[in-house]
Amino acid sequence: MEAFAIGEYMPSVRILPREKKRQVVEFSRSGNNLLSAIEVRDYDKAESLLNDIQKVAKDFDSAKAMTLIQTAKTQSNMHLAKARNASMSGEKGGFENELKEAATIWPMNPDLK
């Protein structure tokens, strides 16, 4: 709807096949879902949506989103590794702080379990 609202009655838009219009709607919805997933830090879902968007729109630039997702996952996993090291060395405070940091960055990290 966003893509066609301005030029809804333009001949070039009106003659587009319904399938093409559906692809635009799918792209728009997936983009909004991607932003929501990133906002709530559900990076697995965001990565899946990003892959779906790339299939629909071949020219979609996914570099920024993919970098954000991979960086967050890496940071969370690094904090978990630090938490493991702190646990093994008996540092309860360090363990708790690193675990909290890992959960803050990526709350749905499967390794947190």
47: its two tokens: 């990565």
pLDDT at 88: 94
Q: What is the pLDDT of residues 64-98, one digit of tens each?
A: 999 999 999 999 999 999 999 999 999 999 999 99
The beta-carbon contacts of 58-66 under 8 Å, at least 24 apart in sequence, are 65/34, 65/38
Residue 3 has pLDDT above 80, yes or no: no
Q: Which residues in 14-44 are b (16+ Cβ under 10 Å) and which e?
A: eeeeeeeeeebeebeebbebbeebbeebbbe
Output the CA–CA distances (angstroms, integers) from residue 64 to 10, 43, 72, 91, 107, in the order listed. Answer: 34, 13, 12, 37, 21
What is the radius of gyration, based on Cα positions, of the chain?
A: 20
Band (pLDDT 50/70/90 cuts) for residue 7 is low
Largest Cα separation within the chain, whole Å, is 71
Q: Is the dihedral of CA 9, 13, 17, 22 positive or negative?
A: negative
Higher pLDDT, 71 or 57: 71
If you count them, how many residues does the chain have?
113
Instruction: Please tell me whether the overall predicted TM-score, pTM, comes out greater than 0.85 for this model.
Output: no
